[in-house]
Amino acid sequence: MPELPEVETVRRGLAPAMEGARIERLELNRPDLRFPLPADLSQAATGRRILSLGRRAKYLLIDLEDDLTIVAHLGMSGSFRIEDGVVGDFHHARSKDAKHDHVVFHLQRETGPVRVIYNDPRRFGFMHLWKRSELDLYPAFAELGPEPTGNALDETYLAARLGKKSQPLKGALLDQTVVAGLGNIYVCEALWRSHLSPKRAAGTLVTKTGRPKKELLLLTTAIREVIADAIAAGGSSLRDHIQTDGSLGYFQHSFSVYDQEGKPCRTPGCGGMVTRITQAGRSTFYCPRCQR
């Protein structure tokens, strides 16, 4: 499933084509994806201008005129592509099968018409219609923690959230109420960068008086840096993820531990080997020698 950097990459790819454009028609080629599409989605969107594209955690936000937002999730295999002959022609055959083109935004820009197509072979994605002024009440957003890209995420905040947790550190970081948008890949990478074991109890990074230890400062910095690096690389193209122009993300070529089982640890002088274990039904990759 696409993680935060992949969704942010999609947002940045779509923004030049969609922001400021007017929706001439919203074509729905089926009544549902993972969930039924809103019955009034096409009617509500048609004729309205797209004000901006945003993101909350792993959700794409398409802000329209008149206080409306389309909340979109890519699911396992969802992707957008842009077709107009000029901007971002889709040039990879994968996910261009028209039978999986479920939602088509027919847009009008000053430079001419543009089509933005949502393609989803597995149909695990979804779209909802919500009032922009009430996004805090959207069920998936109600208890989300701060973004790893914003100033709200710091070691003091994490100390308050992790101080009393005895669960393994990796599981605590995957909790979306602690940090929004962190997924399996980037938690593994951030823990390696900060030399912390995914099995370590989360509360051991906080003093008895509730203050962050040095290790927590290193972890906070690692989280922010690994997300920034992944966004800069266009995300990680694993399985179905592709960018809006059809190109692939490249951060997977920089993985230090994720999916690197049996390879030497990249920490200088470590000499350990990357190991895979299972935590809460998910694969965890780490170096037992230098991650403590």
* Catalytic machinery residues: 2-3, 58, 282
Sheet containing strand 68-73, strands side by side? 50-56, 59-64, 68-73, 126-131
Determine the 3-state secondary structure of 18 from DSSP: helix
Cα–Cα distance, 199 to 288 (Å, whole number): 10
Could you tell me the maximum CA-CA distance found in the chain, to the nearest angstrom?
62
Cα–Cα distance, 73 to 282 (Å, whole number): 21
Cα–Cα distance, 192 to 194 (Å, whole number): 5
> Are the beta carbons of 247 and 92 closer than 8 angstroms?
yes
Determine the 3-state secondary structure of 166 from DSSP: coil
Give the residue among 80, 109, 89 at the shortest CA–CA distance from 17.
109
> Are the beta carbons of 262 and 143 closer than 8 angstroms?
no
